[in-house]
């Protein structure tokens, strides 16, 4: 994607905030510890602007990919005089808080941003406990539930929002007993009983249990080959390689066998014939080649399908909540509060229908490039005025944030017009927002650790790594959605920056802390030679390869190289 001057400004704001807060952490704690700070620089290279206040020179440098705090006596090449204001003359117990303060301030920044978002804007949730979709052939459909039913109780517990429904169903699954659902339909009360029986999937260790349910599909992963074949929610799998299937676990088990080893011992996917029936009763069949992913040390074939199981989805009206700036939707005149009614004369009754229809609105040109397919959009304004426009979606090739997307790193074409569906909002008080903000910050840190583990084990693609280009693209995209998304992006990057800097690698803050801990254990300072070797090894074995990889992946995002 081309970058405008405004995009560059967003990129500089994101990095500037995260870096400034990080370096300020080092700076303020160093001052509190009595260590002199000679320079506080945002950016690398010769200073563009500088001003001196007291003993510290404050600078802005031209390379905005980091910053630094230069302290007196911080280099092993410096001639130390043993003064208390020299960094290396200080005890390791004084040095560790100074180094640790940078990453900790990034975590504080993330939590503070999340706090204000939760306190001022709130978080999204689903208030409706009325059914908007009942997937045909699912357990919910077989039990007699219908679109429009208002769920009032699950296993005797009252229902006030969709979270209550999910909680009741989860408790039923854990207890392995039938789930009783009370509902209201056209002023009349009724009860539906959904059977709960679990079966073991495959031959995993430990065993994985799932609900015994019909082979009816729910979400289709856009990264998987099932999406390319046109499978959709509500389709029912009939057979695999001509062998009929009756339950979902049979589908899972048979697809899991579609892998073989070649002469070199490498795993290869095995194509197979998939037969299914659409909700309209049309029988279809096609050959499909699964994608191989790593899970728990095993290589498993996947096609990107999931079971509908109970098949109940809450009502979510196709009403616009946000319009992205500089988007086809904005150009067409769409605004928050507008309700989408028709796309190419096809009724749109649920938010999922709207999203899926738009995402599939593209075709390939003669060179195989995805091109948006124009469609007629009809909507109602909040004043009940009917409007229509021809809209051509923008199509981008991106890594989709799904299980298959993380594992394969495969880029997919995705059409969008720049709208988000309106969601219910729950605001928090001071205490609630504080607790939730800390929880969110911790969750993002855990996500980063999980991704790092999967990168190391090969369960995630290296194409998920991002450098300056990825940050710039993300900053520009999030800024176009609005302030909430933009500041959430800063919070997430800040939390990631904190965790990266805590890795025990000598070039990073965590590596410095590790060396100081070794110094405490040995009760004497490491030699200059040992420190030099530690930094050299860290640079050549970690930093340099990482820089090369990030450069390669970032350039690939711009289309310079063939896919990894």
Share of the chain above pLDDT 90, in %: 61
Q: In this structure, are residues 216 and 276 in contact, taking their beta carbons and an 8 Å threshold?
A: no
Catalytic residue among 23, 86, 182, 459: 23
For residue 122, the model assigns a pLDDT of 93
- What global pTM score does this model have? 0.87
For residue 289, the model assigns a pLDDT of 95
Q: Provide mean pLDDT across the span 464-474.
A: 84
Q: Provide mean pLDDT across the span 301-325.
A: 94
More confident residue, 550 or 246: 246
Residues 6+ apart with CB under 8 A from 271: 258, 287, 288, 289
Comparing 42-56, 70-84, 159-173, 424-438, the range with the smallest average pLDDT is 70-84
pLDDT-derived band at 562, boundaries 50, 70, 90: low
Q: Is 23 a catalytic residue?
A: yes
Query: How many CB atoms within 10 Å of residue 12?
Result: 14
pLDDT-derived band at 207, boundaries 50, 70, 90: low
- Using one digit for the tens of pLDDT, what is the confidence trace for 127-138? 999 999 999 999
Q: Provide mean pLDDT across the span 415-433.
A: 93
pLDDT-derived band at 561, boundaries 50, 70, 90: low
Query: How many CB atoms within 10 Å of residue 304?
Result: 25
Residues 6+ apart with CB under 8 A from 395: 362, 370, 371, 372, 413, 414, 415, 416
Q: What is the mean pLDDT of the chain?
A: 89
For residue 322, the model assigns a pLDDT of 94
Q: Provide mean pLDDT across the span 307-322.
A: 94
Judged against a pLDDT cut of 90, whether residue 535 lies above it is answered with no
pLDDT-derived band at 3, boundaries 50, 70, 90: low
Q: In this structure, are residues 337 and 496 in contact, taking their beta carbons and an 8 Å threshold?
A: no
Judged against a pLDDT cut of 80, whether residue 564 lies above it is answered with no
For residue 307, the model assigns a pLDDT of 93
pLDDT-derived band at 206, boundaries 50, 70, 90: low
For residue 244, the model assigns a pLDDT of 96
Q: Provide mean pLDDT across the span 253-261.
A: 92
Q: Provide mean pLDDT across the span 95-110.
A: 96
The two three-digit tokens of residue 91, written as one number? 């005890």
pLDDT-derived band at 283, boundaries 50, 70, 90: very high
Q: Provide mean pLDDT across the span 250-254.
A: 92
For residue 116, the model assigns a pLDDT of 96
Judged against a pLDDT cut of 80, whether residue 515 lies above it is answered with yes
The two three-digit tokens of residue 547, written as one number? 């820089």
d(CA 9, CA 478): 13
DSSP 80-108: ----TTSTTTS-HHHHHHHHHHHHHHHHH
Query: How many CB atoms within 10 Å of residue 383?
Result: 6
Judged against a pLDDT cut of 60, whether residue 53 lies above it is answered with yes
Backbone angles phi and psi of 108, in degrees to 5: -65, -45
For residue 563, the model assigns a pLDDT of 46
What DSSP character marks residue 374? P
Q: Provide mean pLDDT across the span 154-168.
A: 94
């Amino acid at each position: 994607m081309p970058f405008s001057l405004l995009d560059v400004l967003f990129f500089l704001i994101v990095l500037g905030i995260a870096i400034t807060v990080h370096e300020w952490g080092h700076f303020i704690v160093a001052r509190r510890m009595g260590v002199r700070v000679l320079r506080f620089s945002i950016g690398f290279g010769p200073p563009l602007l500088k001003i001196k206040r007291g003993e510290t020179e404050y600078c802005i440098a031209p390379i905005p990919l980091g910053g630094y705090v230069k302290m007196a006596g911080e280099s092993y090449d410096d001639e130390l005089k043993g003064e208390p204001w020299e960094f290396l003359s200080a005890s390791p117990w004084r040095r560790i808080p100074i180094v640790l303060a940078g990453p900790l301030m990034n975590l504080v920044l993330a939590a503070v941003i999340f706090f204000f978002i939760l306190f001022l804007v709130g978080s999204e949730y689903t208030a409706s406990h009325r059914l908007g979709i009942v997937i045909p052939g699912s357990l919910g459909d077989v039990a007699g539930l219908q679109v429009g039913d208002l769920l009032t109780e699950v296993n005797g517990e009252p229902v006030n929002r969709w979270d209550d429904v999910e909680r009741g169903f989860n408790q039923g699954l854990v207890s392995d007993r039938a789930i009783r659902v009370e509902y209201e339909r056209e002023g009349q009360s009724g009860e539906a009983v959904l059977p709960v029986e679990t079966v073991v999937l495959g031959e995993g260790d430990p065993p994985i249990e799932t609900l015994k349910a019909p082979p009816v599909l729910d979400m289709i992963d856009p990264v998987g080959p099932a999406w390319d074949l046109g499978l959709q929610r509500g389709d029912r799998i009939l057979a695999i390689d001509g062998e009929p299937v009756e339950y979902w676990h049979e589908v899972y088990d048979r697809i899991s066998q579609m892998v073989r080893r070649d002469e070199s011992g490498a795993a290869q996917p095995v194509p197979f014939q998939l037969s299914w029936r659409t909700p309209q009763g049309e029988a279809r069949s096609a050959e499909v080649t699964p994608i191989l992913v790593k899970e728990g040390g095993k290589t498993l074939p996947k096609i990107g399908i999931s079971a509908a199981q109970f098949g109940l989805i809450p009502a979510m009206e196709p009403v616009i909540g946000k319009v992205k700036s500089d988007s086809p939707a904005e150009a067409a005149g769409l605004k928050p509060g507008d309700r989408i009614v028709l796309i190419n004369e096809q009724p749109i009754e649920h938010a999922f229908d709207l999203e899926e229809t738009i995402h599939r609105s593209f075709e390939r040109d003669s060179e195989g490039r995805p091109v948006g397919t124009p469609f007629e959009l009809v909507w109602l304004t909040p004043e009940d005025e009917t409007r229509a426009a021809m809209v051509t979606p923008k199509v981008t090739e991106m890594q989709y944030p799904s299980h298959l997307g993380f594992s394969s790193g495969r880029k997919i074409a995705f059409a969008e017009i720049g709208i988000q569906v309106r969601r219910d909002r729950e605001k928090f008080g001071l205490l609630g927002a504080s607790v939730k903000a800390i929880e969110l910050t911790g969750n993002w840190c855990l996500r980063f650790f999980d991704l790092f583990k999967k990168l190391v084990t090969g369960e995630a693609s290296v194409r998920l790594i991002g450098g300056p280009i990825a940050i710039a693209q993300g900053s520009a995209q999030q800024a176009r959605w609005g302030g909430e998304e933009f500041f959430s992006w800063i919070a997430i990057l800040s939390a990631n920056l904190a965790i990266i800097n805590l890795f025990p690698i000598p070039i990073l803050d965590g590596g410095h802390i590790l060396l100081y801990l070794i110094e405490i254990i040995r009760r004497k300072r490491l030699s200059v030679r040992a420190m030099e070797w530690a930094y050299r090894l860290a640079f050549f074995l970690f930093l340099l390869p990482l820089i090369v990889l990030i450069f390669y992946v970032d350039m690939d995002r711009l289309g310079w190289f063939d896919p990894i």
